[in-house]
Chains A and B, each alone.
Chain A
Amino acid sequence: MRLSLDAVEREIDRLWEEEARRTQAPRIELLTLVALVSEPGLLARTTRVVADVVRVHPSRTVVVDWKTGGEAAITADAALHAAGPGGAPCGDAIAVEAVGGAREWLPQNIDRLILSDLPVCLWWVGDLPDFDNLFDRAVLSADLVVVNSGEMDLRDIEKLSTIAGRSRGRYAIADLTWIRLRPLQELVARFFDDQGTHPCLQSVERVTIEFSPRPGETDVASTQAGLLFGWMANALSLKPDDVYWRRGPTWGEATIGNVVARFEHRPRPDVPPGAILRVGIECRGRVSARFEIERQEDPQVFRWSRDVPGAPTPPQTLRVVDPGESTLLIRCLGRPKRDPLLEASLAMTTRIVRPVAPRLSIQPRKG
C-alpha cells in the first residue's frame, strides 16, 4: 500500500513495535542511505543491493525513483529490512516514488526522511548526468556521495573531479570502481616495498595497462584503467602539463615526460567490462627491471612478479575476488570519509585523458 510521506514515520514505528514484541530486536541504525535510481531498469538491482548492505551496516534506506508523466505526486512504501529470512530487523526500508513534476520536490522530501544526527550517504545509481538539479540539491544533505565511475565514460572522470572539488569539505566522494581497484593498488605498491627496488622508481619508462573493454568501446581506456594510471602517475610524481597521445583502434599511448602509458583493449567475457587484466611496468637506464601483475585463466587469480637485479623474489599467486556492488558499497560505508587519494587520482586522470576524452556539455550517453 502506497503511503503519503507524512505517514511513513508512523508506519515505521508501528513495524518496529511489532518486531520488538516478536524478536526483542534492538533498533540499531548507523546511517541513512539514500539511493537515487537514475533509470527505472536499475530499481530492482538497487533494492537488492541495499538489502545486502543493511545486514552489515544497519541503516535506514530510502530508495528513490521517478516516472515521467502523470500528475505530480510523491508516495512511499515502508517496511523493515530483515537480517535474513524470518530474521531480526536491521533497518528501515523506505521506497519513494515521484511521478511527473514531483521529481523537483524530492530533495526536501528526502530530507524529512533522514534520521536525525546520523550520517547520510547518497548513492547515485547509474550514469551521472552532467547537469541535474536533483543531484546538485540532494548532495547538500549528504556526508558521503557514492557513485560508480564504472558506469560512466572516461570523460566523466572530469565531472567527478569537479564534484569532489566543489564539495569544499561538506561531503566526501566515494567511487565504487575506485574501491574495486584497491587490491590492485596494493599489488602495485607491493612492487616497491623493498628498499632495493626504490631506484627503479626513477627509471620507469613504460606502464602498460590492459583491460577488457565494454561492447563497442570507443574510449581509449576504461575509467578503471584511467583511474589506476592516474593514481600511479601521482605516486611517480609525473607532471601532466604536456601529454601527447597516439592511438589505434584498440590501444592508446600517452607520453608524459619520460614515461609512456599504454592502454590496450583485450576483450575477455568472463570479467566485468572495464576490468583490468594486466599491469606492466618497465624500467630502463640506470636500473633495468620489469614488474607485472596478470590476471590468470581463473579470472579471480592474479600472478604477481618482478624481475629486479639484486632483489630476487619468487612470483606470487594471489586471489583477488571481484566484489559485487553490495560488497563495494559496504566497504564504502565502512570508511565514510574524504579520500584524498581518490580526489588526487581523479584530478590527475582528468588532466591526462582530457585530450582524448574531453568533457561534453551535453547529456552523456546512457549504458
Chain B
Amino acid sequence: MTTDNPFRAGLETERTPEPSVFVIFGASGDLAKRKLFPALYNLAVSRLLPPGTSIVGFATSERSDEVFRQMMREAVAKFSRTKPIDEAVWDDFASRLHYLAGKFEDPANFIRLREKLEDLDRTNGTRGNRLYYLAIPPSAFAVVNDNLSGAGLVAPADDRTRSTRIIVEKPFGTDLASGDALNAELHRVFHERQIFRIDHYLGKETVQNIVALRFGNAIFEPIWNRNHVDHMQITVAEDIGVEGRGKFYEEAGAMRDIVQNHLLQLLMVIAMEPPVAFTADEVRDEKVKVLRALKPIRGEAIDRATVRAQYAPGNFAGKPVPGYRQEANVSPTSTVETFVGMRIEIDNWRFAGVPIYVRAGKRLTKRMTEISVHFKHVPHGLLAQGGPVEPDVLAIRIQPDEGIGLRFVAKVPGPSMTLRPVTMDFRYGSTFGGSGPEAYERLILDAMLGDPTLFARSDEVSAAWQFITPILDRWAGSGTRDLPTYPAGTWGPPEAVDLVERDGRAWRRL
C-alpha cells in the first residue's frame, strides 16, 4: 500500500494497492466465474486495479491462456454488474489473464507456478507481491498450503519488500474442531495478518452502514442498551431453494451455511461496543467480544431456544415447488435443516436480558435480510386508548431495498387522541441513487490493500463455532425427531412463531 506519493495527498483514493499477482485456485469453478472475475473486471472498469497487476487462474483442466480468456469473457458478460463488456477495458484486462493447468497435489506444478510468477514480476513489476484466492473446497487447502510453502511462494509476514496474502472462502470448517483444525492448517504456513477470510456480507454497504448509523450519530448510542431496547430480531430469509446445490447443502444446512457466519456477523456489528478506532484489530476485538458474551445454549435448553425445520412441498410465486427432500442430490430421508430459529442472549453489561430472535432459511415467503431493534413500551400509558401504545422499532434492511426505517407513533388528525404507528424511511436507492460496488469488489480491493477490517479473524471463527457446535451436536443426536417441516413459501414452522410468542412478542411482519 502506498501513502507517501505527493500526488495522492487530498485525492479520494489516498491509498492504492501495490501491483501484485493474483492467483486463483479453482479458477474454472462457479465462484470464480460468478463472482471473482466479474469483480476483478469491474475493478478494472473503475480504474482501481493498479498497473502491472496480473491474474493467474490455476485449475486442473488443460486449456490455453486464450481459451481461458474466452471462458472468463463469457462469465463476465453474464455475471458482471456492468454491461455490456467494455471492449477497450476488456482487451487490457484480458492481457493480464493467464492460466496454469495442473493438479494441486503435484509439487512440480507449484514450481511451474513460481516460474510463471517470477516471469510476471520481471515484465510487469509486481516485485514478488502475491495474493492467493482459495476458491476450492477446504479439503484441498492443506495440499495447496504445503505446495505453496514448498515452492517458496510464501513470503514471511514481516517481509517489507514483498507481500503474500491469502483469501479463504467459507465454510471455515463444519464445527469447532474442524474450524480450529482449518485455522491451524492455515497458520502452519501463513501468519494471521496474511489471512483474509471472506464473508461477503461484511462487504455490503448496508452492513458497513450499521457502523455509520451507530457510531456516526449521537442519538442512537445512548439508547442502544437494555434500558431502552426490549429485544432485537435478525432475519436472513431466502425465497429460493437449494438451486442445484443439494450436495453442498446436505453437508451444510442453514446453521452452517448462514447462521454461523452471515447472521452472527450481523449480530456482532449490531451489538458490539464502539471500537477505539476504525482499524482492523480494534473493530475485530470488539466483534469477538460479542461472540464471547453469547450465553451458551446447552443441553435441554437447546430444545427451548432453537428451532430447526425443513421445507416441504409448497408453492412459490403461484407455482408448485418441491420440498427439500425432493430436490436433486438430496437424500429422501435427509434430516438437514433448511430453517433455523433461535433465541440468543448476550451476557454483557449493555444487553443482559435483551433477547435476540434470529431466523434464517430457504424457501421462505420472500427474500429479505433485516435487523430490527424493538424499543421498550413507554413507561406510563398516558395516551393509551384500548391497549398499549405500539413501541418504536428501528429496522435496518440489508437486502433488498436497502435502507433504514424508524417506526413511531403519531396522533391521527381529529378531535380524539388516537395514535397510529407511522414510519420514517431512508432508502439507499432513492437517497443516493445508483448501485455501489459489489461486496466482492470491495473485499478484493481491501485484501489487495492488506486491510483486514472487513474479514473474519480466526478467533471470531472459533468463537462462532464454540457457540454453534453444541446445538449442531444435539440436533445430530436427535435425528428426525423434532424436525418440523414448513410448506415452501411460508415464514417457517409454527414452532418458530412459538419461540417468540412464548415471550409475549411476535416476529416483525416483513
Q: Which residues of A contact B (CB under 8 A)?
A: 26, 28, 30, 55-58, 83, 88, 90, 182-183, 185-196, 198, 201, 232, 235-237, 296, 298, 301, 304, 306, 311-320, 330, 334, 339-341
For A195, the chain B residues whose CB sits under 8 A away are 2, 4
Cross-chain contact of B9 among A90, A190, A198, A235 (Cβ < 8 A): A235
Cross-chain contact of A298 among B88, B433, B434 (Cβ < 8 A): B88
Given contacts A55-B433, A186-B47, A313-B19, 5 further A-B contacts (CB under 8 A): A193-B16, A194-B2, A304-B51, A313-B52, A319-B86
For A317, the chain B residues whose CB sits under 8 A away are 88-89, 91-92
Q: Could you tell me which residues of chain B, from 424 to 446, have a CB within 8 Å of some CB in chain A?
A: 424-427, 430-434
Chain A residue with the shortest CB-CB distance to B86: A319
Taken together as a complex, chains A and B put the C-alpha atoms of A301 and B47 apart, in Å, by 12
Chain A residue with the shortest CB-CB distance to B1: A193
For A28, the chain B residues whose CB sits under 8 A away are 425-427, 430-431
Q: Could you tell me which residues of chain B, from 82 to 100, have a CB within 8 Å of some CB in chain A?
A: 86, 88-89, 91-92, 95
Interface centre among B4, B7, B434 (most CB of A within 10 A): B7
Taken together as a complex, chains A and B put the C-alpha atoms of A182 and B433 apart, in Å, by 21
Say how far B152's CB is from chain A's closest CB, in angstroms: 22
Taken together as a complex, chains A and B put the C-alpha atoms of A345 and B7 apart, in Å, by 12
Q: Is the CB of B51 within 8 A of A314?
A: yes
For B5, the chain A residues whose CB sits under 8 A away are 189, 192-193, 198
Assign chain B's interface to a size class: 35 or more
Q: Is the CB of B125 within 8 A of A194?
A: yes
Taken together as a complex, chains A and B put the C-alpha atoms of A185 and B2 apart, in Å, by 16
Chain B residue with the shortest CB-CB distance to A335: B12
Chain A residue with the shortest CB-CB distance to B90: A317
From known contacts A185-B11, A194-B18, A201-B6, infer whether A312 and B431 are also in contact, taking CB-CB under 8 Å. no
Chain A residue with the shortest CB-CB distance to B15: A193
From known contacts A83-B430, A185-B7, A312-B123, infer whether A193 and B86 are also in contact, taking CB-CB under 8 Å. no
For A90, the chain B residues whose CB sits under 8 A away are 430
> Is B294 at the interface (CB under 8 A from chain A)?
no
> Is B188 at the interface (CB under 8 A from chain A)?
no
Taken together as a complex, chains A and B put the C-alpha atoms of A287 and B155 apart, in Å, by 30
Interface centre among B5, B8, B12 (most CB of A within 10 A): B5
Taken together as a complex, chains A and B put the C-alpha atoms of A312 and B430 apart, in Å, by 45
Q: Is the CB of B2 within 8 A of A188?
A: no
> Is B326 at the interface (CB under 8 A from chain A)?
no
Chain B residue with the shortest CB-CB distance to A185: B11
Taken together as a complex, chains A and B put the C-alpha atoms of A301 and B10 apart, in Å, by 25
Taken together as a complex, chains A and B put the C-alpha atoms of A315 and B125 apart, in Å, by 12
- Residue interface bits B275-318, CB-to-A below 8 A is 1, else 0: 00000000000000000000000000000000000000000000
For B8, the chain A residues whose CB sits under 8 A away are 189, 193
Q: Is the CB of B125 within 8 A of A235?
A: no
Q: Is the CB of B7 within 8 A of A56?
A: no
Taken together as a complex, chains A and B put the C-alpha atoms of A192 and B16 apart, in Å, by 11
From known contacts A185-B11, A319-B86, infer whether A190 and B124 are also in contact, taking CB-CB under 8 Å. no
Say how far A363's CB is from chain B's closest CB, in angstroms: 34
Q: Is the CB of B50 within 8 A of A190?
A: yes
Chain B residue with the shortest CB-CB distance to A342: B10
For B52, the chain A residues whose CB sits under 8 A away are 312-314
From known contacts A186-B13, A319-B88, infer whether A313 and B51 are also in contact, taking CB-CB under 8 Å. yes
Q: Is the CB of B7 within 8 A of A189?
A: yes
> Is B142 at the interface (CB under 8 A from chain A)?
no
Taken together as a complex, chains A and B put the C-alpha atoms of A297 and B249 apart, in Å, by 51
For B51, the chain A residues whose CB sits under 8 A away are 190, 304, 306, 313-316
> Is B122 at the interface (CB under 8 A from chain A)?
yes
Q: Could you tell me which residues of chain B, from 65 to 103, have a CB within 8 Å of some CB in chain A?
A: 86, 88-89, 91-92, 95
Q: Is the CB of A318 within 8 A of B50?
A: no
Q: Could you tell me which residues of chain B, from 1 to 42, have a CB within 8 Å of some CB in chain A?
A: 2, 4-13, 16, 18-19
Say how far B499's CB is from chain A's closest CB, in angstroms: 33
- Residue interface bits B404-428, CB-to-A below 8 A is 1, else 0: 0000000000000000000011110
Q: Is the CB of A232 within 8 A of B424?
A: no
Chain A residue with the shortest CB-CB distance to B44: A318
Taken together as a complex, chains A and B put the C-alpha atoms of A26 and B404 apart, in Å, by 13
- Residue interface bits B104-128, CB-to-A below 8 A is 1, else 0: 0000000000000000001111000
Q: Is the CB of B12 within 8 A of A191?
A: no
> Is B45 at the interface (CB under 8 A from chain A)?
yes
Q: Is the CB of A341 within 8 A of B10?
A: yes
Taken together as a complex, chains A and B put the C-alpha atoms of A339 and B10 apart, in Å, by 8
Taken together as a complex, chains A and B put the C-alpha atoms of A196 and B51 apart, in Å, by 14
Chain A residue with the shortest CB-CB distance to B9: A235
For B7, the chain A residues whose CB sits under 8 A away are 185, 188-189, 191-192, 232, 235
Taken together as a complex, chains A and B put the C-alpha atoms of A236 and B9 apart, in Å, by 11
Taken together as a complex, chains A and B put the C-alpha atoms of A304 and B425 apart, in Å, by 44
For B122, the chain A residues whose CB sits under 8 A away are 312
For B431, the chain A residues whose CB sits under 8 A away are 28, 30, 57-58
For B432, the chain A residues whose CB sits under 8 A away are 56-57, 334
The 11 listed contacts between A and B (C-beta, < 8 Å) are A26-B424, A187-B47, A189-B13, A235-B6, A315-B51, A318-B47, A318-B89, A319-B86, A319-B88, A334-B432, A340-B10
Q: Is the CB of A193 within 8 A of B2?
A: yes
Cross-chain contact of A182 among B4, B12, B425, B430 (Cβ < 8 A): B12
Say how far A174's CB is from chain B's closest CB, in angstroms: 14
Cross-chain contact of A313 among B9, B16, B124 (Cβ < 8 A): B124
Say how far B387's CB is from chain A's closest CB, in angstroms: 26
Interface centre among A306, A313, A316 (most CB of B within 10 A): A316
For A194, the chain B residues whose CB sits under 8 A away are 2, 18-19, 125
Chain B residue with the shortest CB-CB distance to A88: B430
Chain B residue with the shortest CB-CB distance to A296: B88
Taken together as a complex, chains A and B put the C-alpha atoms of A214 and B222 apart, in Å, by 58
Cross-chain contact of B6 among A237, A298, A316 (Cβ < 8 A): A237
Say how far A201's CB is from chain B's closest CB, in angstroms: 7
Chain A residue with the shortest CB-CB distance to B92: A317
Taken together as a complex, chains A and B put the C-alpha atoms of A334 and B5 apart, in Å, by 25
Taken together as a complex, chains A and B put the C-alpha atoms of A320 and B2 apart, in Å, by 23
Q: Is the CB of B123 within 8 A of A314?
A: yes
For B19, the chain A residues whose CB sits under 8 A away are 194, 313
For A83, the chain B residues whose CB sits under 8 A away are 430
Chain B residue with the shortest CB-CB distance to A341: B10
Chain B residue with the shortest CB-CB distance to A315: B51
Q: Is the CB of A313 within 8 A of B89?
A: no
Taken together as a complex, chains A and B put the C-alpha atoms of A90 and B433 apart, in Å, by 11
Taken together as a complex, chains A and B put the C-alpha atoms of A29 and B433 apart, in Å, by 13
